[in-house]
Amino acid sequence: MKAKNPTIADVAARAGVSVPTVSRVLTGAARVSPAKRELVEQAIAELGYRPSAAARALVSRRPQTIAIIAGNTSRYGYAETIRGIEIAARAEGYTVMITVVESADEDEVDRAIEATLTQPLAGVAVLKFDPPGVAALGKIPGNLPVVALSGVREPNMSQAVLDEAAAAEELTEYLLSLGHETVHHVRVPPSRKVDGRTTGWRRALRRANAAVPPVLDATWEPRSGIAVGRALAADPGVTAVFCGNDEIAMGVMRGIAEAGLRVPGDISVAGFDDNPLAELWSPPLTTVRQDFAGLGRRGFQLLLNAVNGTDDRRHSSERPRLVIRASTAAPGPRR
């Protein structure tokens, strides 16, 4: 029943060689005569032997596992980023471990980090998209390679970035160029005080000498946008809205529709991320395409650099791209 896994000693016995010899053919660390190598490989195949990563990590101190710490695993941007990291890691022979930290509550963060760091890890990638991510980042000991992935650059750390501020600025400028006097902004829960999307929006308004309306807040729940959309529709000064992500934009559009107004006829709405459903929405959503999977890949590369010490590039930034569709237009006469 218990069919114990064969060990390296079993392989050595079967092949009639010593344990270190088996280890040598396994790791390729030293040369082994073709004859013995052949014997060993055959024994491995016959036994279905598989080396124990635990024992390896214990002695060699070069673990082949990285951990991803994230506040969420299922929302679009998070899931895609994780996918990007995983693919890049797998290509390099690394295994990926995931730890979710749902709140920034100190106890929870500590518990999660503890459980994770207990593993033999080559490095850690932190999705710094939200407060839990920021909190987790602060708890990681300095002797472990770390990379942060996020929308806002911060110093003192390896970091892969999607320059959200620049993209938000471009989007806001585009809206202004359509003839809107100002642009309202609905924010998703920010990772901390500064939020790239909000920063870029404000920067564009300031530069254009447009009024800066108060920021509206939504949760991560798409439906939280509905009430916001209704409120916006009730304000005749609102002709263009920039939402923190596409899901919220969809909620806002529904709220606007429920209030009897039309998009983009009465109000233009733009999102952020380019969720795969954005192009299917009616009207198709103007948004900013974020290459989250690419962010993940770049992040892993940076982490690998830190792990190997091969390359000391510590930053990788990319600018998301504006995607203009039909949910935005020149302002019409409201109502």
Partner DNA sequence: ATGAAAGCGCTAACAG
Partner DNA sequence: CTGTTAGCGCTTTCAT
Distance CA 183, CA 100 (A): 35
Shortest Cβ distance from residue 221 to a copy of itself (Å)? 7
Counting contacts by CB under 8 A, is residue 119 touching a copy of itself? yes
Distance CA 166, CA 234 (A): 30
Question: Can you read off the two tokens belonging to residue 70?
Answer: 């994230």
> CB under 5 to 8 A by kind: which of DNA, a copy of itself, none does 317 bind?
none
Distance CA 60, CA 55 (A): 8
Counting contacts by CB under 7 A, is residue 42 touching DNA? no
Counting contacts by CB under 7 A, is residue 51 touching DNA? yes
Shortest Cβ distance from residue 273 to DNA (Å)? 42
CB of 25 closer than 8 Å to CB of 32: yes
Shortest Cβ distance from residue 156 to a copy of itself (Å)? 16
Please report, as residue ranges, which positions from 97 to 136 form the binding site for DNA (by CB under 7 A): none
Q: Which residues pair with 70 in a beta bridge?
A: 100
Counting contacts by CB under 8 A, is residue 116 touching a copy of itself? yes
Counting contacts by CB under 8 A, is residue 86 touching a copy of itself? yes
DSSP secondary structure of 15-62: HTS-HHHHHHHHH--S---HHHHHHHHHHHHHHT----HHHHHHHH--
**Identified binder of a copy of itself from the candidate list 38, 221, 235, 311, rule CB under 8 A:** 221
Counting contacts by CB under 7 A, is residue 330 touching DNA? no
- Helix %, strand %, coil % for the chain, to 5? 45, 15, 40
* 3-state SS, residue 216: strand
C-beta of 55 vs 330, nearer to DNA:
55
Please report, as residue ranges, which positions from 177 to 196 form the binding site for a copy of itself (by CB under 8 A): none
Applying CB under 7 A, the site for DNA has a residue count of 32
**Sign of the torsion angle spanned by Cα atoms 31, 35, 41, 47:** negative
**Identified binder of a copy of itself from the candidate list 13, 19, 79, 323, rule CB under 8 A:** 79
* 3-state SS, residue 270: strand
Shortest Cβ distance from residue 146 to a copy of itself (Å)? 14
C-beta of 118 vs 209, nearer to DNA:
118
Binding segment toward a copy of itself, per CB under 8 A, in 118-126, 150-158, 203-211, 302-310:
118-126
C-beta of 23 vs 286, nearer to DNA:
23
> CB under 5 to 8 A by kind: which of DNA, a copy of itself, none does 258 bind?
none
Question: Can you read off the two tokens belonging to residue 50?
Answer: 């598989």
Distance CA 277, CA 250 (A): 10
Nearest to 109 by CA among 130, 137, 83, 88: 137
**For binding to a copy of itself (CB under 8 A), which residues are involved?**
1-3, 5, 48, 50-55, 57-58, 63, 65, 72-76, 79-80, 82-83, 86-87, 90, 93, 95-100, 112, 114-120, 141-143, 221-223, 225-226, 247, 250-251, 253-254, 257, 276-277, 279-282
